[in-house]
């Protein structure tokens, strides 16, 4: 999918082209990894200046490695960074969880630079990495790549005076490329991250074009936006077993007709997703449609079905199909 020009602030800066006296372009891959819910997907979106990854205040939201391409001048020199947002690395509780961890681990090998994202408030409180963060670091270490440690959600740290001593302790835990406190949500202090990553990338470009945003088709993002709307409204135990499949895509010129099936694991979950008199499904559908229309910049008719596929989160083949290909068929 190409970069949506009208929604990407960086596109309007018009200084994307390299200045004549600037350093040569550099390009490479950076994997964003960390335990669930630390803000990896929010950081990806903030770095790109556009919403690519769905975000929810619960673990397990990101189901696949997602590529997002940053392409902008860093101190005047063109810099292309293919960021890979990954599912959270934690001890898996299901087959689905196991596939997500495999997916994230596999991505680490693809990075020129690794970005370990942790929760600033949590490390400040402990004056150390949490055991879960440490486990991610241990997966990264053998790869011998530069690691940037980013302390996210620094906006939530009340006692900022605790930050500096924490940074000093953390600096001793590993020979980091750098340590950066930041807020992905507010978009603050992200420039030092990008600047440091650039330092470790080879000269050249990954893509000749300057508007590559991701390698996923529009359908993938449509399914994700439906899942995001559902995650925003449905609590309880339903979300873990939800997958969204796009089964209809008809371009009628003025209107794009899309049909999706929301897959759940139990009849009781189906009832929750549909809600009393269909109210819940209506809310989800409306919210998803608005976000899909904003993304595609066109009018959309969205049909939603709900289907029960018992035990799909424990069936390796179904998990792979639904998380990687987005369809059971
Ligand atoms: N306060 C605060 N919240 C954040 C920040 N970054 C992410 N979040 C929130 O943390 C939750 C998890 O974010 P998400 O990006 O889905 O985390 P991921 O699981 O690591 O991809 C969401 O509710 C985000 O809005 C931040 O810098 N500050
Ligand atoms: Mg995520």
pLDDT interval class at 240 (50, 70, 90) = confident
CB of 57 closer than 6 angstroms to any ligand 1 atom: yes
**Residue with CA at minimum distance from ligand 1 atom 26:** 153
pLDDT interval class at 138 (50, 70, 90) = very high
Q: Which distant-in-sequence residues (6+ apart) come within 8 Å of 157 by Cβ?
A: 120, 121, 124, 163
Q: Which two tokens stand for residue 310?
A: 């018992």
Domains of the chain as residue ranges with CATH: 5-199 (3.40.50.300), 218-325 (3.30.300.20)
- Taking only the tens place, the pLDDT of each residue in 56-77 is 888 889 999 999 999 999 999 9
- Buried b / exposed e across 195-220, counting CB within 10 Å, b at 16+? ebbbebbeeeebeeeeebbbebeebb
Q: Is 58 annotated as a binding residue?
A: no
pLDDT interval class at 215 (50, 70, 90) = very high
pLDDT over 60 at 17, yes or no: no
pLDDT interval class at 19 (50, 70, 90) = low
Asked if 111 and 59 count as a contact pair (C-beta separation under 8 A), the reply is: no
pLDDT over 90 at 247, yes or no: yes
**Residue with CA at minimum distance from ligand 1 atom 7:** 39
CB of 58 closer than 6 angstroms to any ligand 1 atom: no
Asked if 101 and 110 count as a contact pair (C-beta separation under 8 A), the reply is: no
pLDDT, mean over the chain: 92
Dihedral angle sign, alpha carbons of residues 154, 159, 161, 164? negative
pLDDT interval class at 5 (50, 70, 90) = very low
pLDDT over 90 at 257, yes or no: yes
pLDDT at 2: 64
Query: What DSSP letter does each residue of 177-213 carry, written as one string?
Result: SEEEE-BTTTTBS-HHHHHHHHHTSPBS-S-SSS-B-
Q: What is the DSSP letter of 241?
A: G
pLDDT interval class at 273 (50, 70, 90) = very high
Q: Is 169 annotated as a binding residue?
A: no
Beta strands at 77-85 and 66-74: parallel, antiparallel or unpaired: antiparallel
Q: Mean of the pLDDT values across residues 241-256?
A: 96
């Amino acid at each position: 999918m190409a970069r949506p020009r009208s929604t990407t602030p960086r596109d309007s800066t018009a200084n994307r082209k390299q200045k004549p006296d600037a350093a040569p372009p550099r390009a490479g891959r950076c994997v964003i990894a960390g335990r669930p819910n630390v803000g990896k997907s929010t950081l990806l979106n903030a770095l790109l200046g556009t919403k690519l990854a769905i975000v929810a205040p619960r673990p397990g939201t990101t189901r696949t490695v997602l590529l997002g391409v940053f392409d902008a001048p860093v101190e005047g020199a063109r810099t292309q960074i293919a960021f890979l947002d990954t599912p959270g690395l934690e001890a898996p509780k299901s087959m689905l969880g196991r596939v997500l961890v495999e997916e994230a681990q596999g991505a680490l090998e693809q990075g020129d630079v690794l970005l370990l994202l942790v929760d600033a408030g949590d490390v400040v409180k402990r004056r150390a990495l949490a055991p879960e963060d440490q486990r991610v670091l241990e997966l990264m270490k053998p790869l011998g790549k530069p690691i940037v440690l980013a302390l996210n959600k620094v906006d939530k740290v009340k006692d900022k005076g605790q930050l500096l001593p924490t940074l000093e302790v953390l600096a001793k835990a590993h020979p980091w490329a750098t340590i950066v406190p930041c807020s992905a949500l507010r978009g603050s202090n992200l420039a030092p991250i990008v600047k440091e990553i650039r330092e470790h990338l080879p000269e050249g470009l990954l893509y000749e074009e300057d508007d590559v945003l991701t390698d996923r088709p529009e359908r993938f993002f449509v399914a994700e936006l439906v899942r995001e709307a559902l995650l925003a409204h449905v609590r309880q135990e339903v979300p873990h077993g939800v997958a969204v499949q796009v089964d209809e895509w008809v371009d009628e010129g003025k209107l794009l007709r899309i049909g999706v099936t929301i897959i759940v694991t139990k009849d009781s979950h189906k009832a929750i997703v549909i809600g009393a008199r269909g109210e819940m499904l209506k809310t989800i559908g409306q919210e998803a449609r608005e976000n899909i229309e904003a993304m595609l910049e066109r009018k959309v008719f969205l049909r939603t079905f709900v289907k029960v596929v018992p035990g799909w989160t424990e069936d390796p083949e179904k998990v792979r199909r639904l998380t990687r290909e987005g369809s059971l068929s």
